[in-house]
Structure 1
Amino acid sequence: MHLEIMDNNNTKYIRVARSYREFSKEENKYKVRKKTINIGPLSKFDDGKPNFIERLKASFKAGTPIIKELEPYVSKEVNKEIYNFQIHEGTDECIGHPKLFANLLFDKLMDEIGLTSYIGSYKKYDKINYDVLGFSKLLIYGRLLNPQSKIATVNQNKDYYNEIIDEDSYKYNVFDTLDFMYKHKNAFFNRIDQVLRKKAKRTTNVIYYDVTNFFLYSDDTGYEFDDEGNKIYHSIATPGVSKENQKLPIVQMGLLMDEQGIPISIEAFQGNTLDHLTMQDSFNNSVDYLKDKKNRYIFVSDKGIGKGGNPRFSVINGNGYLVSKSVRGTTKADKKWITSDKDYVYNGEDFKIKSKTYEKVYKLDDGTELKSSEKMVSYWSKKFYNREYEEQKSFYDTLRQIIESPESFPSNRLNNNKIKKYLKKQVLNDETGEIIDSDKLKALIDIDKVNEDLSLLGWYSIITSETYMDEREIIDTYHNLVEIEDQFRVMKSTLDTRPIFVRTDEHIIAHLTMCTISLILLRLIQRKITLKFQKTLSADRIQSALNKWKVEKLADDYYRFNDIDDSDLKLILDSFEIELPKKLYKPIDFRTLKSNIKLS
């Protein structure tokens, strides 16, 4: 049986036709006859997606019709196709040129998070005359598959099956695309947020926030001096403390993350900006949903960002906070409470926990006071103690050697800031930094301070406005912050976000925006795998697997997929219900794949 589309009085109908042979006595020979069954008007079944008739015929032939009315007429034994084609020596078909096919999945994800239509609408609004959507896709997809410079990424266009931009496109429009991304950064993150709340059940009752920095492959950091002699930098890229200890300009980036581990938005700052000074601007400039006073959230971050006025900022804006608090840097009273064994609840010998609640008073800008409650959770873990001790072991061994053999340590080695912390101040020359009497060095090490430091290993404390939460829930919520550290690791490794090669502030921010959108797509793929199979793949393995998903042209317009039996790639395809039977394909078959990808 096969499908036919019949035209009757300008109305198209779907019918099933079966050909058979019948002997004609009049003509004394067999004649081919055809029996047809009318299914109904085409308009009744058309799903409105491209190439419906071709997809319908292909699905019927494959034995899996896309409309149920055809199921009774599907052949139970599908005849397997036999491929007959020839490749001639000396022709281009003798040389394989596998093409990337993962952009099919990326295209679908871009459609689903609303960026395809959004970029299209802004192109029209901004009266842009180049393919800004195509260039945006190249930047985002290239970062996911094969991170390179901007021009090199544009040159990857020919690596895709169905090139993303026209071959004769002006490649330097990629920098115009960066200007476009910078201009619409907040609108893009806002659109993604709206879609993920609706389609992916994004929740932001808890918002995780952290800061990292990225170094630039440039030392061009122009500055001038103000009236007091302070340097005023012209660029967002400034000297600062790089996480990788690179002596290059850096830019700070604050990242907000939802409870599902998917980035919400980013904000960029000068490289010399202290971490805790980034929090308020990042939240003030974030997506509309978070700026709506009706939508309360709990801000979660580490002790470096949780200090200063950030808890106050959260409370006076109707939100909450849950941040770690330095045990070593806390008040003597809190330190005494933390280390006192009173009221601790033990879980074996390796863990103990307690909490207390007290009143906080915040002064408002109008001079009035806002009273609130704060809960402090303190806990000690043998696991954390062992980890901290191993991290600090070499340093404590050095202190021990100084105590036992002071003559073997020249004074210049003791100028190390970390060691100075444990030297008694009364014997240190403040002008030169040298030890006055090296013979008395043993007495100069503050043993009490060393012992106090050792006694605080393994202790942690968390403070929160959410006094209703129990201790375990507070700890578990805080520990989920580790996921945002993984976001930074992926950006710096898999997505190769740094070093940053562009120079202007606008292009630097656009680069970080593009990398974050790539990260969002990556996280959505990981989340789909997890929800479908209760397992996940690392970012590196996903990148490697999707690079294997290639299609190769053979002859007579036949194509075959490469490596779809790879276990990681198969897991990704199965997660999105992308079925690729073991067969050769025609271009018409590819058109049906994207529409069949399941994302919900």
Structure 2
Amino acid sequence: MNYKLTVTRSKNAKCFYIQTTYRKRDGRLSSKTVKKLGNETFIKENHGVDDAEAWARGELERMRQAAREEKQGLVTELHPDRLVTDTERIFNGGDIFIEKVLTLLGLRDICGETADRHRFRFDLNRYLTRMVCSRILHPGSKLADFINGRRFIERSDLKLENFYRSLDVLGEEMDDMQGAIYRKSLSTIGRNTGVIYYDCTNVFFETESDDDFRKYGHSKENRPNPLVQIGLFMDMDGLPLGMCVNPGNTSEQKTLQPLEEVLAEKFGLSRFVVCTDGGLGSKSNRRYNVTEGRNFITVQSLKKLSAHYQDWATAPEGWHLRPRLKDDGTTRCLHTYNLGEIDLDNYTDDVFSLVSTKKS
């Protein structure tokens, strides 16, 4: 602090104070008394001195010296290429919950079987678990997965090179691993696969050069970069079911059937209704999904339909209410409805359908 000695004089006495200056919130300087030393007579009688002002100045210097010693700290050298400390003091506990789910899905056993087939000398489960947790909590590259591991409570001494070594094997074994996780999920959380939903998207790479996998195609974000396409099936509860990854110039319509074949071969899942948007509802996909216990629901543009189908789809009368099981175990009677004459708010949980009697 900036201490100073203040002396006030009156007709009969002289008083000594030690004050300091400070800045108010409005920016103006002000002063306040931090120690009252007393008047001249008091100092001489209580401190045994002949010169009260000299003693007061000595007291001022002692307070200044104490303030300087209090401000002194440790001096250390800092280097721009070195960490100040390698001790992590803040941890993210979200990985505990994610690892619990992965354990329930049998990931440890699945990774163990995969690692044995490829003769890995490292624990594949630890690396895949780290990548999954990092992708959910701190999305980034594999290098970021390696670095962010220090922020997890369950810290593991993993090697960066093993992250990259595992990627080719995970890509090769993806279908088998997805199928094994699905079968395990049936006995843990249960799955609702009577109706499944499929759609595609693509991701871009910050590069101007394509290769065998990253290809130029139609970007969902209208970016002029090489792409990789990702297709995903979800069940009726919105849980991921199966996925595929294809070069960025692959037509979306050609990705549906191969992934359904994976569901049949690896998942043991072949009887379902597939829901897609109009871009995936090609004639080939529709024909494929009316065989072997499958069916489909897709979007179709009214403008592209013939006139009698347009009239049929927009007519308010002739709609049937799909039978729905009631609380008492019975179903509603089937009869036709005119959508223009009923209050649709009373049927928010119901599905209406039309049955065409005309041939295209």
Give the alignment's TM-score, normalised by structure 2.
0.63
Q: Which residue of 2 aligns with 1:251?
A: 228
Question: 1:289 and 1:132, CA in 2 relative to 1: closer, same or farther beyond 3 A?
Answer: closer
Q: What is the percent sequence identity of the aligned residues?
A: 22
Q: Secondary structure of 1:309's partner?
A: helix
Match of 2:162 among 156, 165, 173: 173
The residue number in structure 1 matching 2:294 is: 319
Alpha-carbon RMSD: 3.0
Partners of 1:266 and 1:286 within 8 A in 2: no
1:161 aligns with 153
Opposite residue 222 of structure 2, the aligned amino acid is: N
Matched with 2:22 is none
Q: 1:182 to 1:360 in 2, by over 3 A?
A: farther
Quick one: which amino acid aligns to residue 354 of structure 2?
A: S
Partner of 1:267 in structure 2? 244
Q: Work out which of the residue numbers 199, 209, 217 in structure 1 matches 2:198.
A: 209
Distance 2:353 2:106 in 1: 46
1:184 and 2:173 aligned: yes
Aligned position for 2:262 = 285
Asked whether the equivalents of residues 345 and 354 of structure 1 are also in contact (C-alpha less than 8 Å), the reply is no
Q: Output the amino acid matched with 1:189.
A: Q
Distance of 1:217 and 1:332 partners within structure 2: 47
Structure 2: how far apart are the matches of 1:309 and 1:135?
A: 40
Q: Secondary structure at the match of 1:304?
A: helix
Partner of 2:112: 120
Report the 3-state secondary structure (helix = DSSP H, G, I; strand = E; otherwise coil) of the residue aligned with 1:173.
helix
Distance (Å, rounded) in 2 between the aligned partners of 1:115 and 1:182: 16
Q: Report the equivalent of 1:302.
A: 277
CA contact (8 A) 1:193 1:287 kept: no
Partner of 1:355: 354
Contact between 2:179 and 2:267, CA under 8 Å: does it hold in 1? Answer: no
Give 1:96 deviation, angstroms: 7.4
**Counterpart residue identity of residue 240, structure 1:** G
Shift of 1:141: 0.8
Change in Cα spacing, 1:342 to 1:161, as seen in structure 2 (3 Å) is closer
Matches for 1:494-573 after TM superposition, within 5 Å: none
- Matches of 2:293 and 2:353 in 1, distance apart? 27
Letter matched to residue 317 of structure 1: E
Are positions 1:240 and 2:225 aligned together? no
Residues 336 and 198 of structure 1: is their aligned pair in 2 closer, same or farther, counting only changes over 3 Å? same
The one of 307, 310, 320 equivalent to 1:332 is 307
Q: Which amino acid aligns with 2:95?
A: N
Structure showing greater relative contact order (alpha-carbon pairs closer than 8 Å, 6 or more residues apart): 1
Counterpart of 2:302 in 1: which secondary structure? coil
- Structure 1 pair 98/285, CA: closer, same or farther in 2 (3 Å)? same
Instruction: Tell me the equivalent position of 1:107.
Output: 99
Residue aligning to 2:61: none
Query: Using the alignment, how far apart are the partners of 1:114 and 1:143 within structure 2?
Result: 19
Residue 89 of structure 2 is matched in structure 1 by: 97
DSSP-derived class of the 1:246 partner: coil
Report the Cα distance in structure 2 between the residues aligned to 1:129 and 1:249, rounded to whole angstroms: 35
User: Could you tell me whether the CA contact under 8 Å between 1:284 and 1:291 is conserved in 2?
Assistant: no
Matches within 5 A, 1:419-430: none
TM-score, L = length of structure 1: 0.39
Say which SS state the counterpart of residue 278 (structure 2) adopts.
coil
Q: Which amino acid aligns with 1:140?
A: V
Shift of residue 342, structure 1, vs aligned partner: 5.4
User: What is the identity, as a one-letter code, of the residue corresponding to 1:211?
Assistant: C
Partner of 1:524: none
Per-residue CA distance 1:132-166 (angstroms, 9 max, x = gap): 222212211110111111112111222222412x2
User: Shift in Å at residue 103 of structure 1?
Assistant: 2.2
Structure 2 counterparts to residues 555-594 of structure 1, below 5 A: none
Instruction: Look up the SS of the partner of 1:256 in the other structure.
Output: strand
Change (3 A) 1:290 1:346: farther
Q: What one-letter code is carried by the residue in structure 2 that aligns with 1:119?
A: C
Q: Distance in 1 between matches of 2:93 and 2:339?
A: 56
Number of residue equivalences = 254
Asked whether the equivalents of residues 182 and 267 of structure 2 are also in contact (C-alpha less than 8 Å), the reply is no
Asked if the contact 2:88–2:151 (Cα under 8 Å) also holds between the matched residues in 1, the reply is no
Give 1:243 shift.
1.1
Distance of 1:179 and 1:325 partners within structure 2: 39
Asked whether 1:195 is paired with 2:172, we answer no
**Any gaps of 5 or more consecutive residues in structure 1?**
1-88, 223-234, 362-600
Q: Does structure 2 retain, via aligned residues, the 8 Å contact 1:197–1:203?
A: no
Q: Any conservation in 1 of the 2:88–2:150 contact (CA below 8 Å)? A: no
Q: State the AA in 2 paired with 1:187.
A: D
CA offset at residue 209 of structure 1? 0.9
Alpha-carbon distance in structure 2 between the residues aligned to 1:208 and 1:341: 28
Partners in 1 of 2:215 and 2:205 — Cα distance? 9
Partner Cα distance (1:272, 1:113) in 2: 34
Cα distance 1:172–1:333, how it changes in 2: closer, same or farther (>3 A)? same
TM-superposition CA deviations, 1:24-80 (whole Å, max 9, x none): xxxxxxxxxxxxxxxxxxxxxxxxxxxxxxxxxxxxxxxxxxxxxxxxxxxxxxxxx
Structure 1 residues 268 and 359, CA gap change in structure 2 (3 angstroms) = farther
Change (3 A) 1:182 1:354: closer
| Counterpart position of 1:346 | 340
Distance in structure 2 (CA, Å) of the matches to 1:338 and 1:255: 30
Quote the residue 1:26 is aligned against.
none
CA distance in 1, matches of 2:162, 2:88: 31
Unaligned runs of 5+ in 2: 1-72, 75-83, 319-337
1:156–1:323 Cα change, 3 Å: same
1:138 aligns with 2:130: yes
> Take 2:88 and 2:249, find their aligned partners in 1: how far apart are those partners?
51
Shift of 1:205: 1.0
* Letter in structure 1 aligned against 2:355: K
In structure 2, how many angstroms separate the alpha carbons of the residues matched to 1:299 and 1:341? 27
Q: Secondary structure at the match of 1:283?
A: helix
Q: 1:290 to 1:139 in 2, by over 3 A?
A: closer
Per-residue CA deviation, residues 329-349 of structure 1 (Å, 9 max, x unaligned), is 112321233345554422668
Task: Report the AA paired with residue 255 of structure 2.
Answer: T
Alignment of 1:374-453 (within 5 A): none
